[in-house]
Chains A and B, each alone.
Chain A
Amino acid sequence: MDETVAEYIRRTVLKIPRDEIKTMLQMWGFLSEAQLQTLNFHQAKDNISQEVVQLCEDNSADIKQAAALDIIYNHVYPNKRMWSVYQMSKSGEETDFFDLTDFKKKFKRRLQTALKNVTINFREYEDNAIWIRIAWGTPYKKPNQYKTSYVVYHSQTPYVFISASVIRSTLPLLCQTLVAASNYHDIREMELRSHCLNSLKDIVFKRYNQTFQTYYPRPLQERNVTSENVDLRIIQENKNEKERILRVNREVFGDGPQPKLEFAQYKLETTFKSNPTLHVSDIKEPFRCLVKFSSPHLLESLKSLAPAGLADAPLSPLLTCIPQKARNYFKIRERKGFFPGSFVSP
């Protein structure tokens, strides 16, 4: 077995939390059940990984199997990487029947023609998700297994989720390959990024609890009294206002859990407007300013702002439109409203 493959497998196993190693190796299916029985999963991870490598040596593992283990790891722990969302488009109305084999063949061929030194691996999952792992090399160097990009393509949709490698220059090639392989014409990067892959999927596939107009909203009093441990000696003077805030919040955010985003970024390209005596507004050039909101769970914290008394309800639509517009990067230009990033093809 190749040295690099052995080392790669060893490092991949080390990444897995000890309690999950057995399950993941079973998912991998490369080592037989009998072989797995010989492993002691209660020792230090260092030792476990050495034993795994030894077994892989016995089975003559190659890079293909090692890559499969890596895809499985990233499928179970996708939140360790940053994902961007891309949308593909085609001009005509033709809905081609998606052929997986054809896609994989075209993808490999297209990519390998452009760049000989790449490792490409595919893995399909039940929800029509195709995971693609690409390890990048250069025209002169073999693929570096530690510089990988991952693509998650739901073949029934025009959306692709990409976790790019550190080599930014590979991105245009990757996009072109995807477009060619899937019979689309164009691909654009949506202004939507997060570590939580499932939340990104929730947003673009509209799987989160969206708000709908109800004609007969339930009166809020019913819910409040039962859930809170209310001391009757405390009298809320602003009960009506509090209820209004809760109602407005519910209309904006809905009842269900919010998709998980870590930040929202607003790039201002507006001119500075200030007190006339300051004479700063004589400067006609746009005032460059970047506002970034970060949070472990941005949308939930935005949702709790008004009820906590930290902001007025309703919140600015710039904040609340994030899931509906499926973006968390904005450019704000002069005049009313704001314009989304333009349609760009690589």
Chain B
Amino acid sequence: HLATSLPLPSERDHLRPRIDLIAFMIDIKSKYSLKNVEASLAHVDASFFLGKVCFLVTGVGRVNYCSVETNAVWKLRDIYCSPVLYCELELEGVRVATAQRLLRMLQICAGHIPGVSALSFGSLLRNSEDE
């Protein structure tokens, strides 16, 4: 399900399946996109932040056009205890690899991988970033 912001329109509540993973996309070229994500985060129930939220930062290939500071992204990561993935959508290889990573995360969050919980995987990701 693609949405431009949260909260989701209530008219479609009855059509929506259970939500296992929320990926917030931040376009590093647009401060507007960061603001939008920050505003939408307020509408997310706290239980999602136990490993079912991640931030996907796009547009990282174009260093000259960065409008969002890395600090701002890290702040989100720390406040909301959720991992950050970086990708460049315009490169097919990176796009496919990122999709595969997200899919893997989704499988874990949906409980399809026995022995790995969303929470443990999320903290694994965050710890590996800090190193």
Could you list which residues of chain A lie within 8 angstroms of chain B, going by C-beta atoms?
A: 234-238, 240-242, 309-311
Interface residues of B in 5-46 (CB under 8 A from A): 5, 8-9, 12, 30, 32-33
Are A238's CB and B9's CB within 8 A?
yes
Q: Could you give 21 example pairs across A and B, Cβ below 8 Å?
A: A234-B2, A235-B1, A236-B1, A236-B3, A237-B1, A237-B2, A237-B4, A237-B8, A237-B9, A237-B12, A238-B2, A238-B3, A238-B4, A238-B5, A238-B9, A240-B9, A242-B4, A309-B4, A310-B30, A310-B32, A311-B32
Which chain B residue has the least Cβ–Cβ distance from A312? B32
Which chain B residue has the least Cβ–Cβ distance from A240? B9
Which chain A residue has the least Cβ–Cβ distance from B32? A310
Residues of B in contact with A, size category: 10 to 19
CB proximity of B14 to chain A, nearest CB, Å: 13
Q: Specify which chain A residues have a CB less than 8 angstroms from the CB of B5 in the assembled complex.
A: 238
Q: Specify which chain B residues have a CB less than 8 angstroms from the CB of A309 in the assembled complex.
A: 4, 33
CB proximity of A287 to chain B, nearest CB, Å: 22
**A-B contact sample (14 more), CB < 8 A, given A235-B2, A242-B4, A310-B30:** A234-B2, A236-B1, A236-B2, A236-B3, A237-B1, A237-B2, A237-B8, A237-B9, A237-B12, A238-B3, A238-B4, A238-B5, A309-B4, A310-B32
Q: Specify which chain B residues have a CB less than 8 angstroms from the CB of A235 in the assembled complex.
A: 1-2
CB proximity of A9 to chain B, nearest CB, Å: 43
Q: Specify which chain A residues have a CB less than 8 angstroms from the CB of B1 in the assembled complex.
A: 235-237
Per the bound structure, the CA–CA distance linking A76 and B51 in Å amounts to 62
Q: Specify which chain A residues have a CB less than 8 angstroms from the CB of B32 in the assembled complex.
A: 310-311
Which chain B residue has the least Cβ–Cβ distance from A241? B4
Are B30's CB and A237's CB within 8 A?
no
A-side binding surface: helix, strand, loop or mixed? loop
Q: Residue-by-residue, is B91-112 near A (CB-CB < 8 Å gives 1, otherwise 0)?
A: 0000000000000000000000
CB proximity of A165 to chain B, nearest CB, Å: 36
CB proximity of B78 to chain A, nearest CB, Å: 26
Which chain A residue has the least Cβ–Cβ distance from B4? A238
Per the bound structure, the CA–CA distance linking A237 and B2 in Å amounts to 6
Q: Specify which chain A residues have a CB less than 8 angstroms from the CB of B2 in the assembled complex.
A: 234-238
Per the bound structure, the CA–CA distance linking A234 and B32 in Å amounts to 24
Q: Specify which chain B residues have a CB less than 8 angstroms from the CB of A241 in the assembled complex.
A: 4
Q: Specify which chain B residues have a CB less than 8 angstroms from the CB of A310 in the assembled complex.
A: 30, 32
CB proximity of B31 to chain A, nearest CB, Å: 10
CB proximity of B53 to chain A, nearest CB, Å: 17
CB proximity of A307 to chain B, nearest CB, Å: 11
CB proximity of B93 to chain A, nearest CB, Å: 20
CB proximity of A228 to chain B, nearest CB, Å: 13
CB proximity of B66 to chain A, nearest CB, Å: 15
CB proximity of B131 to chain A, nearest CB, Å: 35
CB proximity of B19 to chain A, nearest CB, Å: 11
Q: Specify which chain B residues have a CB less than 8 angstroms from the CB of A238 in the assembled complex.
A: 2-5, 9
Which chain A residue has the least Cβ–Cβ distance from B36? A309
Q: Specify which chain B residues have a CB less than 8 angstroms from the CB of A242 in the assembled complex.
A: 4
Per the bound structure, the CA–CA distance linking A235 and B11 in Å amounts to 14
CB proximity of A260 to chain B, nearest CB, Å: 23
CB proximity of A246 to chain B, nearest CB, Å: 13
Per the bound structure, the CA–CA distance linking A309 and B5 in Å amounts to 11
Per the bound structure, the CA–CA distance linking A20 and B8 in Å amounts to 58
Per the bound structure, the CA–CA distance linking A241 and B4 in Å amounts to 9
Per the bound structure, the CA–CA distance linking A222 and B1 in Å amounts to 22
CB proximity of B37 to chain A, nearest CB, Å: 12
Q: Specify which chain A residues have a CB less than 8 angstroms from the CB of B33 in the assembled complex.
A: 309
Which chain B residue has the least Cβ–Cβ distance from A234? B2
**Which 7 pairs from chain A and chain B are nearest by CB?**
A237-B3, A238-B4, A235-B1, A237-B8, A236-B2, A237-B1, A238-B3
